Homo-oligomer: A and B are copies of this chain.
Amino acid sequence: MFKKRNNIKEIEEGKYLEPKFDKNGLIPVITSDFKNGDILMHAYMNDESLKKTIETKEAHYWSRSRKKIWRKGQTSGFTQVIKEIRIDDDQDSVWLSVDIGNGASCHVGFRSCFYRSIPLGKIKDLEKLEMEFKETEKIFDPKKIYKDEPNPTKL
């Protein structure tokens, strides 16, 4: 679907999109809030979801738990409007800068999936390290939105 990768110099410094999908056909995606740069989520795309995202200007991912293309917000209504898409030097990861309005991106109910901060410095016992919550108010109640859908979080 995309241009074939056959030259390192072209991949790194060329103007053509030559994304590298891993052996499962996926590329990792970083999604940040265009308003303040906060990271909202980390997910994956296959070739089709990257194409759909470029074309529709709405974030589409590959759901590894449901094994299908997932238009963000199809259940929750919390869509992500694309402000910009960038790709990295070796074209094996993608950065989406998105507008989520007053919505949320996290299936737990928070605005960002990254709502916990890890304390820094010398650690006595890694198992007792206590993280700090940077978000405390949920934007929505996951039980009301997702009802009986299985939780994507796995042990």
Contact = CB atoms under 8 A, between A and B. Distances in A.
Nearest to A29: B42
Summarize A's interface: helix, strand, loop or mixed.
loop
B88 A41 contact: yes
B8 A153 contact: yes
Count of chain copies: 2
B131 A106 contact: no
Contacts of A123: 51, 54-55
Contacts of A1: 126
A86 B153 CA distance: 17
Contact-size category for A: 35 or more
A147 to B, nearest CB: 17
A70 interface: no
Nearest to A110: B89
